[in-house]
Amino acid sequence: MVDQHIPLSGKEDTTSVNRQIVLPFAKSVEISLKSIKVRFFRSLITTMSLVLAVSFLGFVRVSNDVANGLLATQDRQLRQAVIRAGYDIGPTDTNVGASPKQRWIIILSLMVCVVGIVNAQLMAVTERFREIGTMKCLGALDRFILRLFILEAGMQGLVGAGAGALAGALFALIGALLRYGPVSLAEVSWVAVMGSFAIAIAVGCILSLIGVLYPAVVAARMQPVEAMRVEQ
């Protein structure tokens, strides 16, 4: 019959130094990028609510920056224009902060966005049961799966938030140009605009990561049998 050699892996059994399971970071990034690319449409939908929420945040913040630039000129006519634009400022105020109402709307929109991301990511996990189970059969640890999902969300978050912040800032600046004229762009503090832009991107990335946390943990904890069973 078959001759009884000692199989290759039998040797490594005794030397525990070889007992390592790894997924190098570069490889994780490569796999995540590939997943996003292959499921581009799905990734786009997941990212869409983020783009909208972040662009709203960017729009509000940059609009405020423009109004502050105009107020800083101490010009009474420009001040009137800002008031006419709907900002509530008292006679002694020298800048517009986010009003409580504005703040609430922003927070609400960001929360809706997170819920949307959680929902989309949970669906993505369900779609990928088999892939996750297969990876686990090949030796993937829970944290590899977790890392892949978080990396994907991070990249989606960066791109989505970048696009959203850009769109929001552009709309705000174009709106300002139409409403107040070229003086608005001359007076606005570009440092403040860049700050708002950065904040919007950061918030977007954080939201994307918060949104994927629960779905990623669900995916990572999944047992290979559960994952394999979902055929019928």
Partner 1 sequence: MAESSNIVRVTDVYKTFQLGKVEVQALKGVNLEILRGNYISIMGPSGSGKSTLFNMIGGLDKPSSGKVFIDEVDIAQLDAYELAWLRCRKIGYIFQTFNIIQVMTALENITLPMVFAGMNNDAATEKGLQLLELVGLGDRYSHKPFELSGGQQQRVAIARALANDPAIILADEPTGNLDLTTGEEIIALLKRLSQERNVTVISATHDFKMLNVSDQVVWIRDGTVDKIEDREELSISIGKIDTRH
**Residue 75 in contact with partner 1, rule: CB under 8 A:** no
Residue matched to tokens 């005794």: 14
Greatest Cα pair distance in the chain: 101
Minimum distance between the CB of residue 159 and partner 1, rounded to whole angstroms? 18
Q: Which of 196, 98, 130, 203 is nearest to 188 (CA)?
A: 196
For partner 1, the binding residue among 141, 146, 170, 202 (CB under 8 A) is 141
**Residue 1 in contact with partner 1, rule: CB under 8 A:** yes
Options 58-66, 103-111, 128-136, 190-198: segment touching partner 1 (CB under 8 A): 128-136
Options 18-26, 45-53, 100-108, 190-198: segment touching partner 1 (CB under 8 A): 18-26
**Alpha carbon distances (Å) from 173 to 52, 176, 228:** 17, 5, 52
Q: Which of 151, 155, 165, 148 is nearest to 203 (CA)?
A: 165
**Residue 12 in contact with partner 1, rule: CB under 8 A:** yes
**Residue 118 in contact with partner 1, rule: CB under 8 A:** no
Minimum distance between the CB of residue 122 and partner 1, rounded to whole angstroms? 19
Question: Is residue 78 a contact partner of residue 180, using CB atoms and an 8 Å limit?
Answer: yes
Question: Is residue 83 a contact partner of residue 179, using CB atoms and an 8 Å limit?
Answer: no
How far is Cα 148 from Cα 131, in angstroms, rounded to an integer? 12
**Residue 72 in contact with partner 1, rule: CB under 8 A:** no
Tell me, rounded to whole angstroms, the distance of Cα 48 from its chain centroid.
10
Options 20-28, 73-81, 114-122, 156-164: segment touching partner 1 (CB under 8 A): 20-28
Q: Which amino acid is at 164?
A: G
For partner 1, the binding residue among 7, 86, 90, 100 (CB under 8 A) is 7
Options 47-55, 163-171, 199-207, 222-230: segment touching partner 1 (CB under 8 A): 222-230
Minimum distance between the CB of residue 219 and partner 1, rounded to whole angstroms? 14
SS3 content of the chain, % helix, strand, coil (to 5): 80, 0, 20
* Binding interface with partner 1 (CB under 8 A): 1-10, 12-13, 18-24, 27, 31, 34-35, 38-39, 130-131, 133-142, 144, 223-225, 228, 231
